[in-house]
Structure 1
Amino acid sequence: MIEYIGIRQMGGLSHAGQILAPATRPWITDLAALCPYKGLQPGNIPEFERDPDWDNWFFTDSPEGSSERLNWHVFQREGIRYMVADRMLMTRVSWQDLNDVGYVYGNDVCIDGRLFRCRLMTGGDTSHDDPYQGATQPNEWDTLVGGAALNALKPEVLDHASPLSPDHLKSPHNSLWNWFGAVSWTAEPVASRADGRVCRGYHGPTYFYVNTVDHRHEDIGWRPILEEEL
């Protein structure tokens, strides 16, 4: 069984030679069309669409300042370590953008002298009748983010309640995983739609949502998982 180990800081994200600190408001970046609740400030996640050239975006070794390092949830199973970003690193990036550079199914990256396979989590291809309950088949999102792993924090009932409110933002589970107002791409095409791709989060920790493969939106983005052989 996969086991939750804890949170680690490692690496950084650079754009055009400048280290970008992890977002302090890791949710939807434009509230004009969609706002989780009245009075919320816009998120400040970096937006790929402002400079859609992957040559200008890359992982770095761990910066000296802890506030600039990326935060990862660490899991381990049978000689493999998995590190999942604790928030979206980028928004206004499409599934196709990520696939073009290999970040959907796996591309090698080196951070602090360690080799990782960087990809998206699996998220299932079919939703339960209630999308708050996630996917119908086993997948990494429901296992890792959803709290099914050994020693992992499980969401509370109120995390799945509608509509969104400040209580969701402040919940212990969201404080760890930052799913509030942020929909993360996963690897699977949706079973019922050729141009649809599964994304998870925003309304709740295991909420199941579908968007178009090449769309860039202010609330949908990139939350990588790093895989390392031990």
Structure 2
Amino acid sequence: MIKNALIFQGGWVGHEPEKVADILAGILKEENFIVNVTDTLETLEKEDLTAYDLIVPNWTQGTITDEQLEPLLKAVSAGTGLAGLHGGLGDSFRMATEYQFMAGGQWVAHPGDNDVTYTVKIKDQDHPLTKGLADFQVKSEQYYMHVDPAVYVHATTRFPIADGPHQSNGEVDMPVVWSKKWGKGRVYYCSLGHVAEIVRMPEVVSLMRKGFTWAARKENEKGVG
């Protein structure tokens, strides 16, 4: 069945939003989505977002107006899926707390910056969002997130690795991949993907493929897990 997806890309250029959006669009097209990629947030207020089965934010930082945010919140609540990665979903619109509420978390730090080698640990290899995936290593930013306790965690990473004042708190397992609901809509997040090179990793491509198809609009389904 063909579905419709919207990617809105932009924000901080260090995350290579255009290149990442192109990779994500390619994954979606392989899964029979018709994809609309836009580089303006005005699309959120000018189009009927409920016509999309999936919306993919790829916009780090930046500012969103109430006129742009409200249609997005309402579309997801009505059943449109939301899925994204790294700062494109987890560090968008820092002043928009309701957006963060919907997303399930917000980036707050990456100790060690982009030179940290860390393990992504898959929690349940039988779950549809992680089936067939084993634990793997990444050398990139290790995202420390403030996370909604309501999310369903699918993969984690262990902190601390890099030095910093957070070390005095001891070891913690930080969510890397999670899912949740927002009204009738499904929300999927993966913290990997600092630049296009990381997004192209086979494991990240697989995670996003599974996340996109899972989050896209479903009819008459209940529950998240």
TM-score, scaled to structure 2: 0.28
- By percentage of residues, which structure has more helix? 2
TM-score (norm 1): 0.28
**Relative contact order, CA 8 A, sep 6+: which one is greater?**
1
